[in-house]
Structure 1
Amino acid sequence: MTATLLLQARTSSSRLPGKVLLPVGGMPLVVLAARRAGNTGHRVLVVTSHESSDDVLCDVLQNWSTDCFRGDLENTLKRFVDALEGVPDEHVVVRLTGDNVFPDGRFIDEMLEDFESRNVAYLCCGGESSGLPYGVSAEITRARFLREAHRNTDSSADREHVTPWVIRHYGRNTFDRYHARGMAQYRCTVDTLDDYLLVSKVFAGTGDPDYVPLEALLEKLKQATADIVTPVPAGRMVLGTAQFGLDYGIANREGRPGQDVVTSLVRTAISNGVEYLDTARAYGDSETVVGKALAGGWGSRVRVITKLSPLADCPADASPDVARAFAERSVYQSCHALGVSSLDVLMLHRASHQEAFGGAVWDALLGLQQRGVVGELGVSVQSPEEALAALEHESVCFIQLPFNILDYRWDEVVEKVAQVRRNRSVVVHARSALLQGLLTTDAEGLWRRARCANASEVGSWLRARAAEYTNGDVVELCLRFVFSQPWIDGVVVGVDTREQLVDNLIRSGAERWDDNELTSILRDRPRVSENTLDPATWETAND
């Protein structure tokens, strides 16, 4: 099949400026990407911008005898359409990017064969279903579909990302021939300095980098990536970071880890597919140490959820203007601590603040959202009643709630939450899957502090179910139970050590129990008091 390969590139990337000109395998990154993609004979055209910042790029391409087309910087879709001037509508177009050098001609030929045999309008490779690392990616469509998109869309996202309009109107089809490789948790794109160093290491000593088979590169990537510990991406695990800023958890004897440990834990979690970090203004130094851990481009690979200050220092009789000022101060303090200009997700730490001060706090957050300082808004709730009240607000996109294997309070609420989610996008994250570590301990004194009158019965039940379902591992029982809930999108799990992190990353990818198994696990579940389910009511060590 005849196709034109359009390789998108520019030098004005924000996280690693000029990355497409960095040397890999003895040549500029963009040149290597173009040569590998075209090594079975397809024409490759690097499409870049008219901006003066790309003059050097075009000079480099000319020196390396690589074809180049210059067009609109911001409207990448128009750039692609202009580059295709004169080709027939049915001509096949492959979209590639200059920071991904693993795709080679054979891989693209395999995709083209699949595209033709399935007779689809659009085919892509990427994501977990592909079985390939992030960076082994390509999109295939026809010239007429890109022209249709250009004529019919006013969306800036459509213009920037080229193919969303085509996907919406003609469907998304995925190339999954490599699904069995199971390498979706790996990464071989070049977006940060660490990415560049890794890719350079993979290509070092390969001889002729233009023609190294993709399979050989994948094996070298495995050998060069020591921090991948999961068989599947841990996308449903949310890394809790309260332990990074506080002495947190009833069973915690380790204390807070240092910055170097935090940085290693955060980056290992991200490398293994964790998509969210959870922190808060109230978690001591957590935001600051997390912000440092995400330096050097790591922040682009994960979304950070933080929570508004509990506003304990805001007078109870404060006017709406004063309350608004306290809320805005908290947001900007979080931005400063995390080292960002805007927050991905901001939650209320107290659900009552949605209505408090005449609604001034929530109004302040909505205003900050409109100004681009805050992305999505959510509420951290303590009870089913608070969750349902929060979801009445259409602007709430995230809910974080306490849930664990003993918590019966949510049984009657699940369907109501599901009904809301059928009408709009709401992400639900669960915390306290281990009830701050209580469920993992046999220490009678800790259970007494948690006001549990039937600790012996509860412990026996947990051990019996663990023996039946998880080879005696109570931690796995409790985590897997929550991970298996179909109404929960992510589970906040805190860690103190690398060993804990690795164990929990692997547990997050375990096969989910179905409804029948979940029902069986809960047979004769002992009832505990609501005080036991609410750590805020527990006795302190000094009580």
Structure 2
Amino acid sequence: MKSVAVIQARTNSSRLPGKVLLPVKGMPLVVLAARRAANTGRQVIVATSLETTDDFLAETLQIHGISSYRGSLDNTLERFVTALEDYNDETPVFRLTADNVLPDGALLDEIEQYFIEHHLDYLCCNGEKSGLPYGMSVELTRLRHLRDAAASTTCKYDQEHVTPYIRRKFGEYYFEKYRELSKGHFRCTVDCLDDYLAIQQLFSDIDDPIQVSAFTLVEQLGSCSYQPWQRIPARKLVLGTAQLGMQYGIANLSGKPDQSMAEQLIKSAIANGAAFIDTARAYGNSEEVIGTALRSGWEGRSRVVTKLSPLTHCPVDGNQEVIDAFVDASIYASCSSLRMQRLDVLMLHRASHMTDWNGAVWKRLLQHKAKATFNALGVSVQSPAELELALASPEVGFIQMPFNVLDWRWDQMIPKIIAQKQQRDVVIHVRSALLQGLLPSKSCEYWQKANAAQPENIMEWLAEQTQNNGKTSIADFCLSFVKSFSWVDGLVIGMETLDQLAENVKILCGDDFSQQEIASILATRPKLEENSLNPSCWR
């Protein structure tokens, strides 16, 4: 039974309108995708809509001799089934999309062979479970299952995404032949302008874009813009952006990056695994910097954690109505600056605001959460007492706390953190893992500003531990120590240059310390006074 590949395509994509018609090596993206899928002789049909916005797309396909079908814009499932009405029920049907041009006939042949040999009803290939980049997306099922889905479901999500009904019925089975390639955190789809430029770059030196192997292209992806630098993603990286909005950090010599550099940092961090970006109303114009960087089609690739205004100008005797106004103003200013209708995560900048003004701030935030003004609520804490308060509040889903290799203040709280994480969903982000850049510093002047009485002893201990634990730098040692704790979900790390980002990504992708190594480190660490551990006390 011969298989057929159906490529869904439309012109009215929201992030990059008309992307399927953008040229790569002299041919529209949709044409390149179709010809690559057909390069071993497979029948390929491009399924687009009857909307007038797709008239030129249909004409383009006809000019290039690509078989096409036009049907419902919103009911893509129906479009697939109707396009294949002359085919047998048992026909294996590939689902492809026009914004993914890397899949070729040879890959489809391998997937089809595996599908038939294992008597499967559904098989997919994409992302980390397949070891292949996001954008090497292929789904394979039988036509009868598509027909059954079209007749059985009225769910708009099922109709738009074609295969959810089938996946629920038969389960998701992944093609894992290339899992050991470990390229699942790479990206080769075209969703925004940066993606398109990367695909143009990828094909720029290719003589035959139709016949070149998908795996040749995958191996060359690393040379393209905004691709990972390491074999694995830096999953615990949280990009701190105080430096992007103002001068920040005791050892910051580079200064505040301009918008261009800030965008490169933000996008490169996301490409390397940063699932969160951390900011605040109080971080200068960092929210505006982030909003501008993400508006080019990067929205949703990383969650933004912002913090409520410190409310320093809010009157101490303000009533609920006054407090509501201050809270609302901060939230809506964040939405405007970040260009978001709904915030991902909103945190209190000061844990005391949970109880200040007779709990008026917290009450207003809970009202906003009930209205879905933001998806999650969190608290930034400074002390063990504040952490205990946050852990005791079931509404708190995110906690940010300072923690580093010299910070002994949290020793008694760690078991409580672990216990709470076992009982409910609470994400713990750690800041000051380098104590605002102080720990890697070899300047006695900086240490003295931080109230350290005997900085030479501390610097010597840090250097010894770095060497004894086989780390390349003090920063490597300090970050590796913090990330080795299982209860730490993310490290908020600020940086001003791509070199700093690359070094931090490399460290976070390195091996964790064992429990024995952590115990050995803790057994010898010097005592740093609390007024040195709290930057607000520095001179």
The match for 2:399 is 399
The match for 2:112 is 112
Whether contact under 8 Å (1:11, 1:18) holds in the other structure is: yes
CA distance in 1, matches of 2:256, 2:172: 45
The match for 2:296 is 296
Quote how far apart the aligned CAs of 1:40 are.
2.2
Quote how far apart the aligned CAs of 1:110 are.
2.0
Q: How does 1:524-535 map to 2 (within 5 A)?
A: 524-535=524-535
Quote how far apart the aligned CAs of 1:508 are.
1.5
CA distance in 1, matches of 2:427, 2:75: 31
CA distance in 2, matches of 1:70, 1:354: 56
Q: Percent identity?
A: 48
The match for 1:539 is 538
Q: How does 1:77-96 map to 2 (within 5 A)?
A: 77-80=77-80, 91-96=91-96
The match for 2:463 is 463
Q: Deviations over 1:267-312 (max 9, x none)?
A: 3323333332211110012122233333422335333221111111
CA distance in 2, matches of 1:389, 1:167: 43
Task: Normalising by structure 2, report the TM-score.
Answer: 0.88
Q: Deviations over 1:36-70 (max 9, x none)?
A: 12222333333333433333323333333333344
Q: How does 1:496-535 map to 2 (within 5 A)?
A: 496-535=496-535
Pair 1:322-2:322 in alignment: yes
Whether contact under 8 Å (1:306, 1:347) holds in the other structure is: yes
Amino acid corresponding to residue 480 of structure 1 in structure 2: S
CA distance in 2, matches of 1:535, 1:158: 52
The match for 2:390 is 390
The match for 2:7 is 7
Quote how far apart the aligned CAs of 1:476 are.
0.3
The match for 1:481 is 481
**5+ residue gaps in structure 1?**
none
Moved more, 479-488 or 524-533: 524-533
Amino acid corresponding to residue 459 of structure 2 in structure 1: G
Q: How does 1:319-358 map to 2 (within 5 A)?
A: 319-358=319-358
The match for 1:250 is 250
Moved more, 67-76 or 288-297: 67-76
Quote how far apart the aligned CAs of 1:243 are.
0.9
The match for 1:35 is 35
CA distance in 2, matches of 1:425, 1:4: 44
Quote how far apart the aligned CAs of 1:3 are.
3.3
Moved more, 470-479 or 262-271: 262-271
Amino acid corresponding to residue 55 of structure 2 in structure 1: D
The match for 2:200 is 200
The match for 1:58 is 58
Task: Normalising by structure 1, report the TM-score.
Answer: 0.88
Q: Deviations over 1:327-346 (max 9, x none)?
A: 12112212222233332322
The match for 1:281 is 281
Quick one: structure 1 residues 465 and 182, their matched pair in 2 at CA, closer, same or farther if it must change by over 3 Å?
Answer: same
Amino acid corresponding to residue 538 of structure 2 in structure 1: E
Q: Secondary structure at the match of 1:299?
A: coil
Q: How does 1:101-140 map to 2 (within 5 A)?
A: 101-140=101-140
Amino acid corresponding to residue 309 of structure 2 in structure 1: S
Q: Secondary structure at the match of 1:251?
A: coil
Quote how far apart the aligned CAs of 1:223 are.
3.8
Q: Secondary structure at the match of 1:399?
A: strand
Moved more, 480-489 or 54-63: 54-63
Whether contact under 8 Å (2:226, 2:271) holds in the other structure is: no
Whether contact under 8 Å (2:532, 2:538) holds in the other structure is: no
Quick one: structure 1 residues 89 and 335, their matched pair in 2 at CA, closer, same or farther if it must change by over 3 Å?
Answer: same
CA distance in 1, matches of 2:400, 2:58: 49
Moved more, 64-73 or 229-238: 64-73
Q: How does 1:228-243 map to 2 (within 5 A)?
A: 228-243=228-243
Moved more, 311-320 or 128-137: 128-137
The match for 1:492 is 492
RMSD, matched Cα: 3.1
The match for 1:175 is 175
> Paired residues, what number?
539
Q: Deviations over 1:483-529 (max 9, x none)?
A: 22222222111112222121112112112233333333333333433
